[in-house]
Structure 1
Amino acid sequence: MLDHVNGYTLFDTAIGTCGIAWSGVGVVAFELPEATAADTEDRLRRVHRAAQQQPTPEIERAISAIVAHLDGSADDLRWIPLDLRRVTDFDRNVYAVTRDIDPGRTLTYGDVADLLELRGAAQAVGQSLGRNPIPLIVPCHRVLAAGNELRGFSAPGGTGTKRRLLAIEHAPGFDDPVLF
């Protein structure tokens, strides 16, 4: 049980109802929209064993920035505090590199592994990002397979969601407004 989670809330965005869970340290989870708002809430409640709460002022500020970001106002969201106490050191390192990727830019799993000085660890990076509890804020959608291909995205909607997030950020090759 994630006993350090203080609460969660749902909020509407341009892509649907998202959810965020937090502790006294920072954000512990972010949920991209499931098929319904009830499904998003169920996942937050079930996975993070949190209760719905009124967001703190800092979380309210984060929600406003996320809503604006998903409306197309690029914010790197790096200023949002995270609580990564429940992830491994390896995952924490992968997430730190991933968080440094600017909106509209991408790296490959191999690039991230190289930046961590772990040549040949692209698959491990991919697995780490598949466990990412805070997508968008830890922008795992900005990491692509070799050849800049979209492959496996564990968030709801899979690679379609990944493509949509990259289009919102005007990433080269994904910024075609006709996609949606």
Structure 2
Amino acid sequence: MDTADTRQLADASAVPGFAVFDTALGVCGIAWGPRGLVGVQLPQDDPTLQPALRRMRQRFPELPEAEPNAEARRAIAAVQALLEGAQDDLRDIVLDMRGLSDFHRRVYELARRIPPGQTRTYGEIAEELGDKTLARAVGQAMGLNPFAPVVPCHRVLAAGNKPGGFSAGGGALTKLRMLDIEGARPNGMASLF
């Protein structure tokens, strides 16, 4: 294969797009570009195919539905495995955070360091940022997380290890279910499932 063919293959793998895929929790979505994932979505209240496609088209109107490139396929497999109980922190998945504020990028980078089965609070993340008064802002950043569960906002809890909010379908119950799948037991609570 000559250099032109190799370059064409590299360019083809960089073609942006989105796809939906099945998981243990329902249909998730993923969007990618030449610099990594630009978004991931957890199932909503109706975890079937059509609502997931509709939401991805609304969220990424500039991207076509497409066959995932190699990196997107690897990310899909990792998310599927995580939602089945794999202990992968997904930190090797490349995210394109160019459109995000510096604060959100810092919050998401700290959240990505939380291993499966463990949790932190909004306040603990705020302290890691150097200002414990930022706990509410951390919670808001988690609510706007465009990469769940690759950025594991489900592992970040409210004060007292209470679930707090969760923007995926099912809200806090889905958050607790995801923590249960990972074997996390905030405050030593027994499984709800």
TM-score w.r.t. structure 2 length?
0.87
Within 5 A, what are the aligned runs for 1:131-146? 131-146=144-159
Percent identity of paired positions between Structure 1 and Structure 2: 49
SS of residue paired to 2:133? coil
C-alpha root-mean-square deviation of aligned residues, in Å? 1.7
33-42 vs 98-107, which moves further: 33-42
Equivalent residue, structure 1, for 2:25: 15
Is 1:47–2:59 an aligned residue pair? yes
C-alpha displacement of 1:38: 1.1
Is 1:76–2:86 an aligned residue pair? no
CA distance in structure 2 between the aligned counterparts of 1:147 and 1:39, rounded to whole angstroms: 35
Tell me: CA distance 1:20–1:28, structure 2 relative to 1, closer, same or farther (3 Å). Answer: same
CA distance in structure 2 between the aligned counterparts of 1:175 and 1:45, rounded to whole angstroms: 38
C-alpha displacement of 1:175: 7.5
SS of residue paired to 1:97? helix
Listed as ranges, the gaps of 5+ residues in structure 1 are: none
Structure with bigger gyration radius:
2
Q: Report the number of matched residues.
A: 176
SS of residue paired to 1:80? coil
CA distance in structure 1 between the aligned counterparts of 2:35 and 2:141, rounded to whole angstroms: 22
SS of residue paired to 2:174? helix
**Deviations along 1:87-115, whole A, 9 cap, x unmatched?**
11100000000000000000000000000
**Deviations along 1:78-137, whole A, 9 cap, x unmatched?**
000000111111000000000000000000000000001022110010011111100110
More helix per residue:
2
**Deviations along 1:51-78, whole A, 9 cap, x unmatched?**
1111111111111111111111111000
Listed as ranges, the gaps of 5+ residues in structure 2 are: 1-14
Is 1:104–2:104 an aligned residue pair? no
Equivalent residue, structure 2, for 1:38: 50
SS of residue paired to 2:38? strand
CA distance in structure 2 between the aligned counterparts of 1:161 and 1:30, rounded to whole angstroms: 16
The answer (yes or no) to whether the contact 1:110–1:122 under 8 Å persists in 2 is yes
CA distance in structure 2 between the aligned counterparts of 1:157 and 1:86, rounded to whole angstroms: 27
C-alpha displacement of 1:176: 4.5
SS of residue paired to 2:132? coil
SS of residue paired to 2:93? coil
